[in-house]
Amino acid sequence: MIFVFPGQGSQKIGMGKDIYDNFSSAKDVFHEVDEAISFNLSKLIFEGTEDELKKTENTQPALMTVSMAFVEVMRKEFGIDLSEKAKYFAGHSLGEYTALCTAEALSLRDTARILRTRGKAMAEACPTGGAMAAILGLDINQVEEITKEASSDAAKVQVANDNSVGQIVVSGHAEAVKKAAEIAQSRGAKRAVILPVSGPFHSELMQPAVKVLEEVLSDVEFKSPAKPIIANVTAQAETENFRELLLKQITSRVRWVESIRYAESQGVSKCIEVGAGRVLTGLVKRISPNMQLINVNSLESLDLVRDL
């Protein structure tokens, strides 16, 4: 089986509160993250506003914290060690850090600290503005061709997320993204929607964030993961070189379709999404219709994992 961890877009106020209230192991995760980043993130997650939570510097550590709280509850309260059960771990963008933390390649404190800095750096990387758009109903080859047509020397757009069959996100300079969306609609896309995001994530415009992240990662210790991580940038099982892979990830596409197909090609038939929402299992259902799907995102859902 593969355990997957969500990225931005899955967050909501109150996520994880039910397990926080019921398990000391979950509470410990929230409090350790608060301490690591010197900020009461728990209070923001449970009582804050949607606008505050969706700020990238808050969203990234918040989603990781909720996922890791479920991981710890499964381990300590249910006796389920994900590293024993998994063949692979994977995460969507920031979720890759959660995967590394679950596989014990990164400590919880380091993961929280990195994501807080990563989120801030990504939000500040493109002050002149950029954009992202979701293109629905076209295949990856069509969208790649469209991004080439829409790009110029002055304004560029590229594929940011190959999320699922017929759902591809592009990112770059605002005018190039807008042009790509218009071309996509003229080529028969079901929809081409400009997304409400704070920056052109997973594009070359994120290069300033790479420099910031490089400094943060330089003094972080990476250990060998308990099980391989299917990395966003390679869509292959990786056991080393995570510092380099995470730096590349900032400006590269999230190859989610290829990642899930790789897992399936290696005999994986069950996908468990751990953390807020159910975005990734929704994508996996379209990529690999025969994959068995489980969401661990609430107190009640923990009953589903007793027999893993």
Active-site residues, by number, are 93, 202
Contact 34, 40 (CB under 8 A): yes
Residues 6+ apart with CB under 8 A from 79: none
b (16+ CB within 10 A) / e for 150-176: bbeeebbbbbbbbbbeebbbbbbbbbb
* Ramachandran sector of residue 123 (left: φ over 0; alpha: ψ -120 to 50; beta: rest): alpha
d(C-alpha 238, C-alpha 245), whole Å: 9
Contact 138, 59 (CB under 8 A): no
Rg, C-alpha atoms of the chain: 18
Q: What tokens appear for 283 in the block?
A: 């994508």
Alpha helices in 133-202 (DSSP H): 140-150, 174-186
